[in-house]
Structure 1
């Protein structure tokens, strides 16, 4: 990845005074960072190989398309009925630090992450939350090995996602911020960024605290990682972009932050790394989406000053409430559209077929939203012959045979992407077992014959208990 902030300055591109001020302060306070930071953001700057963990701990930041969601149901632990006993043993090993070695802690943390990913472990960990929190923080703080610290950060993410404890963020924020700034490992830095975003989202924070972390992540993006001594490290910048977007889905009003944020994300569209480009583009789409909100009951039909080419009474596909433009997400949308259009049709021998396909798919979707913020991800402008209307944004994720998620807005897509990164094949298990954090993050419709009704936690919990009871009876277990 290029040093995009330097490119912007050399090319005469407009840079906000706030961004320039940040850059100047970073330059004076971080003069020694260049010697220790990576000089290019090749694909090799991902997390270390997960072969040793059987692929269960991947934080794969490679760009993935909005059409690829099959791995949400790939659970290799589905038939493991002895997991509660294994988890209890691993918790005891993690808490017994005095008699443990680095290698032993790595193995125990890896197993804890695997079990927490593919099973809903809230009841099993509830008596140990504070002790586990302290143990994970010790492994992160002392950083005796990159793998132990990375696994502890991942374990902390699972704890925040599962425990439903609103004190976690306050316990971990200062250490995670210090780890992001001071760790000598870019792998640990990226893992800590993901962990901080997850804890801020699920661990009990106010909107102001979320905005503080978003500003921290935006500093990392705007400086190409230089602000945390990870210059031009693609994995670190991607993590900051993705967690900025994840937290932004929780903030109702981003008008004051939109212009500067879009400007920073446009710079990252010039990156040589597709994951960086796609994450930046998705954040831009989210900001444009957020500049439109549903029409209030007391507003006139003509109150929208710019219909942006949409129908006059819909969210872009003829369904849902009318969305009204509240402010300009960015001052030069035509220029941005030209950049997005070039990425949606990018060609060249230096880009692999896989990356080219990803860029085309993702940026076609992002461009359509910027052109018309009423359009969500994967919006299809093709005409449905049955209704004589555009197909619209109708990407669905099936929740077994019981429910569906309509991914028709970017905020839903970014939340699903973050949950997918953490849970992967354990996603459905957490949904079925009623993980409150997961269920509260995304709306699901429960299907009854041909009718759909809103789904709450008790609905999935009851369905899960019925399935488990039926399964135990089939296995001959009367318990």
Structure 2
């Protein structure tokens, strides 16, 4: 099986210097598509898959079912509302099964973890699980550590991530971080590595990691990205690189000033634009857009910006406040814009029709933000015939109910939304309504639908 970068060579795509050296030395591994399992395939799914027309607004779906597990069908079914007592009783049973390892089989533990995770995706259950954390976390960590089967370990990692989002605890990170890092570094399973990366990012963001720990994890993810997975014994495994890119983006939204981290990060992301894996390219591109967005901050009181770039640019006024460029993100911006333009218009038949459509949509937005960093995702420069003004941003929205919607008008919001939807999937809307932690990290501008 050919590695990702060899595919790029054969399709006449540009390949990075590090990649060329690895190909020349005969490195081989599975492609992202060949290595895929159902869980890995989900890791590459994109929130958006089409270009929005100038006249319409884009609405994000509320996700897809995690599996055909019966409790998931009951909780998310359209035909009936499950009684609160019923799902709580089912959850209590799952908690007892997970906590009582001595009386369970490997397959039984995997089923219990899956059932538990399904319920926590669909229902906010902090009060139901809070008193059982001292038994639940050690049991999950043990399943992850022992890796008796890949299925059990992956189920434990998913259960851990959704537990973190339900609990809103500032101490979980310390309890689980070391084992998650070991799984990323030393597990022989790509699927376990991928899910451990996602779980580590969620635990750091929601589970109490400080800025120093977050920056250390971001550095770990950059090593994975720069080496195409080789730093964690996952050479050219696209899903591992995607996971590292996506969780780096999530954690970056928590760091106020990224100037010191930007130079190393942008080089790694630009290099990944050369990947033969569309999922890697898009995740890298979204991080590039985030870095440009974060290079602009609100003008301080009494700050003199008379010598600033485009001081009278109306696009630098956001919500009545002036945005000021603080530092240069990338020295070769013209070259970067050329690459982004190519990706926004890629037409080669070697890329699937679906991937071409996704690349076109994503990189049109990314290029737009590199040119004008105050423009968020789905920004439109087309003019409204009635007002004569550009449609602008805010066209990407999430419906909370038939009368209420929330706008995704910043890249940091999109990064957080994507991370939460990966964990909660079809339960995101319910959690947004019920789970204060979810709505707090996504303080959207709320507006009534007209």
TM range (shorter): 0.7 to 0.9
> Can you list the C-alpha shifts for 1:245-284, whole angstroms capped at 9, x where unaligned?
0000111111111111111011111111111000000000
Q: Aligned partners of 1:326, 1:83: CA distance in 2, in Å?
A: 51
Q: Secondary structure at the match of 1:2?
A: helix
Query: Is 1:8 equivalent to 2:16 in the alignment?
Result: yes
> Can you list the C-alpha shifts for 1:36-94, whole angstroms capped at 9, x where unaligned?
x9613231323x336xxxxxx97431344275621348784242221111000111011
Counterpart position of 2:197: 193
CA contact (8 A) 1:303 1:324 kept: no
Query: Is 1:141 equivalent to 2:145 in the alignment?
Result: yes
In structure 2, the CA distance between the partners of 1:223 and 1:127, relative to structure 1 (3 Å rule), is same
CA contact (8 A) 2:47 2:418 kept: no
CA contact (8 A) 1:340 1:366 kept: yes
Query: Is 1:296 equivalent to 2:287 in the alignment?
Result: no
Tell me, which stretches of 5 or more residues in structure 1 are unaligned? Answer: 13-22, 28-33, 51-56, 451-479
Query: Is 1:80 equivalent to 2:70 in the alignment?
Result: no
Q: Please, what TM-score do these two structures have when normalized by structure 1?
A: 0.82
Write the mapping of 1:41-60 to structure 2, written as runs, cut at 5 A.
41-46=31-36, 48-49=37-38, 59-60=42-43
Query: Is 1:389 equivalent to 2:378 in the alignment?
Result: no
In structure 2, the CA distance between the partners of 1:10 and 1:441, relative to structure 1 (3 Å rule), is closer
Query: Is 1:420 equivalent to 2:421 in the alignment?
Result: yes
Write the mapping of 1:54-453 to structure 2, written as runs, cut at 5 A.
59-65=42-48, 67=58, 69-72=60-63, 76=73, 77-78=75-76, 79-81=81-83, 82-300=86-304, 302-306=306-310, 312-315=313-316, 319-394=319-394, 395-401=396-402, 403-433=404-434, 435-447=435-447
Tell me, which stretches of 5 or more residues in structure 2 are unaligned? Answer: 9-13, 50-57, 66-71
Q: Aligned partners of 1:117, 1:375: CA distance in 2, in Å?
A: 32
More contact order relative to length (CA 8 Å, sep ≥ 6):
2
> What is the deviation of 1:294?
1.2
> Can you list the C-alpha shifts for 1:134-168, whole angstroms capped at 9, x where unaligned?
11000000000001000100011011111111110
CA contact (8 A) 2:407 2:446 kept: no
Q: Aligned partners of 1:172, 1:200: CA distance in 2, in Å?
A: 10
In structure 2, the CA distance between the partners of 1:209 and 1:10, relative to structure 1 (3 Å rule), is closer
In structure 2, the CA distance between the partners of 1:38 and 1:116, relative to structure 1 (3 Å rule), is farther
Q: Secondary structure at the match of 2:16?
A: helix
In structure 2, the CA distance between the partners of 1:68 and 1:203, relative to structure 1 (3 Å rule), is same
In structure 2, the CA distance between the partners of 1:116 and 1:38, relative to structure 1 (3 Å rule), is farther
Q: Secondary structure at the match of 1:396?
A: strand
> Can you list the C-alpha shifts for 1:143-194, whole angstroms capped at 9, x where unaligned?
0000100010001101111111111001111111011000010110000000
Counterpart position of 2:11: none
How many correspondences in the alignment?
Answer: 417
CA contact (8 A) 1:313 1:322 kept: no
> What is the deviation of 1:388?
1.7
Q: Secondary structure at the match of 1:322?
A: strand
CA contact (8 A) 2:59 2:399 kept: no
CA RMSD of the aligned region, Å?
Answer: 2.6
CA contact (8 A) 2:406 2:447 kept: no
Q: Aligned partners of 2:305, 2:402: CA distance in 1, in Å?
A: 40
> What is the deviation of 1:299?
2.2
Q: Aligned partners of 1:160, 1:340: CA distance in 2, in Å?
A: 36
> Can you list the C-alpha shifts for 1:288-316, whole angstroms capped at 9, x where unaligned?
01111112221235342356xxx624447
CA contact (8 A) 2:140 2:156 kept: yes
Q: Aligned partners of 1:59, 1:238: CA distance in 2, in Å?
A: 11
CA contact (8 A) 2:91 2:116 kept: yes
